[in-house]
Each structure stands twice: as C-alpha cells, then as structure tokens.
Structure 1
Amino acid sequence: MTIPAESTFEPANNDASLSDHNESYQALVWRRLRRSFTGMMGLILVTMLLVMAIFAGFFAPMEPNLSTESFMPPDALRILDKDGGLVTPRIYPLVETGEFDPVTFQPLTGPDFENPRRLVLFARGFEYRILGLVPSTIHLFGTSDGEPVHLLGTDKLGRDILSRAIYGARISLTIALTVVSIVTIVGTTIGMMSGYFLGSFDVWMQRFVELVLAFPQLPLYLALTSLIPVTAPTNVFLVFVIVVMSALGWAQMSREVRGKTLALSRIEYVKAAMAIGATDRRIIFQHILPNVMSHVIVAVTLAIPNVVLLESFLGFLGFAVKPPLISWGLMLQDTSNYSVIGSYPWILSPVAFVLITVFAFNALGDGLRDAIDPY
C-alpha cells in the first residue's frame, strides 16, 4: 500500500513553541517588561540618571563651585533669531529691558539678541577626571567661544544650578543606593531566618523589629544627625547619615520578607526538601530566597525614591550633607525664603531632578512588579 504524496507525514515545526518552553525566567521577565510602557520609560530614565551621575563631569557645562554673578536668570536657548529665521542653537543672555513688572515691581528681562553665543556639542571647558582616573576637558555641550552658559541660572553665590544639580545626583543617588543595599541585605536575611526558624528566635526578633518600627523616625533622624560636630570631615558626616538611615530602614523590609517566608515554608517542595534531609542553609538560599527575590526587587525599586525624598528633606533642613559636598537637598536650602522664590524662581530647578528620579524608580518598580508576577 502506497501513501499518497499529499499525506506524507512531516515533522511539525515547533521551534517557536520549544523556544518559549525553554525560555529562562530572566528572559521571560525581560519580555514582559518590554511590553510595559511605564516600565520601559522608568528603566530608560533610571539608566540616564545613573550615567549622568557617573559621568557628571562630562555632562556638567560649568565647574559646580565656580562663582560668577549671583541669581543670574537662565540663558535663553533659541533656534530662531530676532527676525524669526532658523539658526543653529544659540544662547542669548537675559538682560534687563528697562521695564518693571506691574505686580512685583521687579525689573523685566529679555534675550540679548545683539550678543548671541553659539551652542556646540563636545565643547572644551574645565578639567575633570573620568571615573576619577582619566583627565579630560571635553563636555557634552558648551559655547563655541568658551563663555559661561547657565541654562538654569545661578544661585545666591553665583554657581551654575544645572552643573550643581548634575553633580548632586552623585551624592543623592549614592546615599539612596547604599542605604537601600544595606537595608535589603540585612532585612532580607533577618526576615528569612525569622520566618523559617520560628520559635523563640522569631519571637524575640519580631519584638526587636517592632521596637525599631515604633520609633518616630523624623525626630530620631534629626537627633542623631545633630550629634555630629560641625567641624567633622564631610566623609564622616556622609557615612553617619547612611548608617542612621540604614539602621532605621531595615525593619520594614524584614517584616515583609518574614511574611513571604512563612507562606513559602508551607509549600510542597520546601517540605520535600526538609523530608529528604536538606540543610537549613540550602533550603533558605536555594528554595526560599529565589522566590522571595521577586518581592525584594520590587521593594528595592520603590524604596530608592523614598530615600531620595528623605535625603532631600533632611538636606533642606540642613541635616543631610554639608558643603563642599553637593546634593539636591542641600541645593534646596536656598528656597527656604518665600521672597527669594518669588524673585528668583529658577532656584527651584533641583526639585525637577527629584521628581524625575522618584517617577523613574516608581515606574520601573511598577513595571517589574507586573513582569515578575507569574500570575
């Protein structure tokens, strides 16, 4: 009996299904994250913030501590000349027009079309070191003639706000990432051990966690940071702030991880590992930790903006970092006077960096939460 040609058996092409079936968990999370618009936007913004902080000298157009004229308004960036013609991007310094605002009686300013400065990419400026090693004078942008450029104006001491905000990202993000790293390691370890071993260890540990959570954190922050003498080195002050934030922040992470561990310890594969004689260390780090990490990763992305906000608030009150260090909170000290804000509103520019950072990490955390959740 012959088999007709049209009914010849051919192996089915299951490459797509096999690739989906063999897809790793990390690849599955990445594929889900790419489908999230807010998650990808947050990832892009977070990457840009980290790159800006690492290579702050390249992105900053001016030396952050260089003083010029105080409270200079932002330079006007335009691609049109005074006649409306299209030109290359140029900087027009703002000058007084001779008129006054009828409400505030402040002198009005306008672009000085008679003295434009051409904006160029990869301009030469002050010397800095890439990653603290390689000296360079190339910056992302600047003027062709090397004149100062103040896209966000200057502060009360005549320092460029944009450059200081870019350099301030280093301290603010360093504090946030360091504090969250310590909180995550300590909180996750204690939470898993407390939820797995239970017994008297869990009872005493949870009472200690409740004691830490019961402290009013803001007054305690102010009290502890005020213990450092004003003459202390800036590095000592920075380390002390990180230690205080970490010591008061790990308890909440520990409580959340303990709850996840209590649920995971009742799952069949954990009980099977106990039945065959697996060690506690293997069960905790091989079976429980990988399943807790999905919650920890999301908690980390949501905790970083909280630390950034806390550092900005403490810096505004003068309890975070001290000069010559630069942080967004320290820059916001100039906004403590309402009359100054009304006359020079551009000094609020660091708020935009804080808002972008908070939005970026929250959007990334929201996207990761949906991507990591297997259901």
Structure 2
Amino acid sequence: MLSWPRPLSRNGTKTAEPAGALAPEAVPPGEAGSDPELGRASQWRLIWRKFRRHRLALIGAVVVLFVYLVVVFAEFLAPSVSSTSDEDLTYAPPQQVHVDFSFSHGIDLYVYGYETRRDPETFEQIHTVDTSEKIPLRLFARGDDYDMWGLIPTDRHLFGPVDQDQHVYFLGADRAGRDLLSRIVYGARVSLSIGLIGVAVSFLLGLFFGGISGYFGGAADTGIQRLIEFLMAVPTLPLWLSLSAAVPPDWGPLMRYFAITTILSVIGWTGLARVVRGRFLSLREDDFVIAARLDGCSRRRIIFRHMVPSMSSHVIASLSMAVPSMILGETAMSFLGLGLQSPAVSWGVLLQDAQNVRTIETAPWLMLPGLAVFITVLAMNFVGDGLRDSADPYK
C-alpha cells in the first residue's frame, strides 16, 4: 500500500502525522480553503451552492414565488371579485393612493373619487378626478363575498375601501366597469395553472417516449424520433388552429380549460423527449448502469432507480424553461380567440380588450396584463437559466 512521506521538521527528523490525514496533493486544485464538507455534499446541495451565485436567477425565483403566492391567495388579495362591475365607471382611469400624515388622525390612506360627464358629441363617458370626494382605505376591509379555496366563506380583502359599497380601481377599469387589478390577479391563477398542468403532462409524455427512445434504441428510437420531427416541423399557429377547431363551441369554460391544457401538452412534450433521449443515450453505457444490469436488476429498476435520478437536475432545468412557453401559448391562443373565452378570466382573455388601437389610445392601462405576462415569463427564464447552469457538471 502506498503511503505519503511525512514532512521533515527543522532538525531533519520526520514529524508525526495524525491518523487519517489527507496529503496536500490529494486536495483537488482550486479547492484549498473551501468547505471541508464539500466533498461529501449531495448533488442537490452542489446545485444550490452554484444557484445562489446566479443573481438574476435568485431575483427571478423571488418574483416567481411571489406570483404563485398571489395565485394561491387570489381571492383575498384581489380588491373585489373579478365579475363585479359598475356600468357608470366604464374605462375609469387608475386611482392614485394618497397618504394623510395628519397627527390628529394618524396615517390615513385614501383615493379621490370620480367626476363623470358625457361628451355631447360622441356620448362617451369622461372620468376626471374629483378632489372634493375622498374614499378612505383600510387593510383587511370588507367587500365582495367569496369562498376562499372554495371552502371558507368570507368577505375580507387585504386592501380596499372602508365603505364596502364603494369601488376603487387601482389599475383602472375595463369596458364593463370591472376592476382590472382584480381580474389580473384572478387571471394569473388560470394562466399559471395551465403552465404547471401542461408541463406536468408534457413531463410524463416526454419522459416516457424519450426514455423508450434512448434506452432501447433501434426501431423504437427511429419511430419516436420521426414522430417528434413531424410534430416539430408543423408550424405552431396552424396546429393551434386545427386543434382548437376540434373543440366544440358549446363547451363551457372548464371544459375549454382542460382542452387548451391538453393541446399545449401535446405540442410541448417533444423538446423534453429529446433532452431525455440524449441523457439516456449517454447514461446507458455508464459503469453504474452496466453494474446494475450485471447484478440482475430489471429494466424498470435500472431506469427509475438509477438513470432517472441521475438526470433529475437536467430534467428540472428543462421543465423550468418549458413553463414560460406554456404560459405564452395559452396567452397567444386566448388573445387570438382560439383558447379561453369570457366569462373565463386569464391574461390572454384580458388582452383581447387591447386589440383595438382606439381602445388602447383611450385606456392604455388595458395593456397591463401584457406587462404581467412579460415579468412572469422573464423571471421564469432567469430561473431556468440558473438551474441549467447549476446542473451542468462541467461549469
């Protein structure tokens, strides 16, 4: 057995070396002075260690976490129910929140009311700020009744007017006098849940077909790859048109929701399947897979117990990049009238009101759902980039 020579002391004699001490040459280059437990760290800890150094990915993760918290508590965070409307306040502009620092009353929040008049020529309602009317605001205000998660009946909202009979429009109103902020919050639940459900279905399809293609090869690999190439060669918009035309027009919002999710899943599994196939091709000849095969392990155990866990980080990175594509797909389909329709509320449905140039000129705040889509998709792309870089063993 090889042994490392002990260092010499000043008088030339060999000094005693503690048992189990590691020679200086055994420390990997560039790791001197690093975490002593780094060599025993798990794969997920190493990924997290690299992910923390990606500043944009961390910022994106915070934004994504915030958006999904809004999705979970949408009814409580929205100032009103998405269907609440006031015909006298159509296309009302956003109201600015003011702060009153009066020492006699403490700190009060309020917004100014509207003064509405009708143009004598166009008969269009014109809303101006009425500084003589103050609408006081408060936290945990009473408002429209709703069922939290469909289970808990309540009327408490995080922020709203003191008088529950009054309406406030922090981001303006749409053509029916409905609060745009509340509709954006409710629309986030539909758009983001479609992204998660669609990616989950795509994950199962991609893992199944990609695993078969990469592990078995041969005729199965050739057939699956030709199918993937055919689906990827078809232009996306005509494929959406043909699949959406197959959806019966008399279906309700819930049935159309599942139909759109299925359409996006059928289209979106091909990219993940190629990623899984490439990983299976590189792993099936590795030593640990060959050792498991020689040990008598079944194919099912080799795939799900040995190969899939070793590529889980790469799959998660690919899934995080696929969620924004699902969200954009639903938004585009609903915007073009191929997806969800009113009374369903999603970001794509809300953007249908912004198709008219004249409407955008008179009510530019109707473009705010597009800003929500932009921020969410950009944050998810940052997170996906961070996960992909962190899962790469060669970086």
Taking structure 2 as the reference length, the TM-score comes to 0.83
Q: Secondary structure at the match of 1:115?
A: strand
Assess, with a 3 A threshold, how the Cα gap between structure 1 residues 113 and 374 changes in structure 2: closer, same or farther. same
1:285 counterpart = 2:295: no
CA distance in 1 between counterparts of 2:116 and 2:179 reads 20
Match of 2:365 in 1: 346
- Among 249, 274, 277, the alignment partner of 2:293 is 274
1:91 counterpart = 2:111: yes
- Among 131, 139, 150, the alignment partner of 1:121 is 139
Assess, with a 3 A threshold, how the Cα gap between structure 1 residues 232 and 294 changes in structure 2: closer, same or farther. same
C-alpha contact 1:76 1:94 (8 A) present in aligned 2:
no
- Among 178, 196, 207, the alignment partner of 2:197 is 178
Match of 1:76 in 2: 96
Q: Cα offset for 1:327?
A: 0.4
Q: Cα offset for 1:290?
A: 1.8
Q: Flag the structure with higher helix content.
A: 1
Q: Cα offset for 1:139?
A: 0.9
1:232 counterpart = 2:251: yes
Q: CA RMSD in A?
A: 2.8
Q: Cα offset for 1:352?
A: 1.4
Q: Secondary structure at the match of 1:229?
A: coil
CA distance in 1 between counterparts of 2:253 and 2:259 reads 10
Q: Cα offset for 1:331?
A: 0.7
Match of 2:217 in 1: 198
Deviations 1:155-202 (A, max 9, x none): 111111110110011111111111111001110221122111111111
**Percentage identity across aligned positions?**
36
CA distance in 2 between counterparts of 1:172 and 1:97 reads 37
C-alpha contact 2:187 2:345 (8 A) present in aligned 1:
yes
CA distance in 1 between counterparts of 2:305 and 2:333 reads 40
Q: Cα offset for 1:113?
A: 2.5
C-alpha contact 1:76 1:111 (8 A) present in aligned 2:
no
C-alpha contact 1:130 1:136 (8 A) present in aligned 2:
yes
CA distance in 2 between counterparts of 1:143 and 1:334 reads 27
1:161 counterpart = 2:164: no
Greater Rg, structure 1 or structure 2? 2
Moved over 6 A (4+): 7-14, 106-109
Q: Cα offset for 1:35?
A: 2.8
Q: Which deviates further from its counterpart, 230-239 or 147-156?
A: 230-239
Q: What letter corresponds to residue 263 of structure 1 in structure 2?
A: S
CA distance in 1 between counterparts of 2:219 and 2:20 reads 59
Assess, with a 3 A threshold, how the Cα gap between structure 1 residues 12 and 303 changes in structure 2: closer, same or farther. same
Alignment of 1:181-260 (within 5 A): 181-260=200-279
C-alpha contact 2:75 2:186 (8 A) present in aligned 1:
yes
Assess, with a 3 A threshold, how the Cα gap between structure 1 residues 108 and 222 changes in structure 2: closer, same or farther. same
Q: Cα offset for 1:125?
A: 0.9
Q: What letter corresponds to residue 99 of structure 2 in structure 1?
A: I
Q: Which deviates further from its counterpart, 212-221 or 173-182?
A: 212-221
Q: Secondary structure at the match of 2:133?
A: coil
Match of 2:162 in 1: 144
CA distance in 2 between counterparts of 1:294 and 1:9 reads 41
Q: Which deviates further from its counterpart, 342-351 or 285-294?
A: 285-294
C-alpha contact 1:172 1:308 (8 A) present in aligned 2:
yes
Q: Cα offset for 1:374?
A: 2.8
Match of 1:112 in 2: 130
- Tell me which of the two structures has the higher relative contact order, counting C-alpha pairs closer than 8 angstroms and 6 or more residues apart: 1
CA distance in 2 between counterparts of 1:141 and 1:295 reads 41
Deviations 1:118-176 (A, max 9, x none): 22211111111221111121111112223211011111111111101100111111111
Q: Cα offset for 1:277?
A: 3.0
CA distance in 1 between counterparts of 2:182 and 2:175 reads 15
1:24 counterpart = 2:26: no
Match of 2:321 in 1: 302
1:323 counterpart = 2:342: yes
Q: What letter corresponds to residue 64 of structure 2 in structure 1?
A: V
Gap runs ≥5 in structure 2? 1-14, 23-33, 119-123
Q: Cα offset for 1:365?
A: 1.0
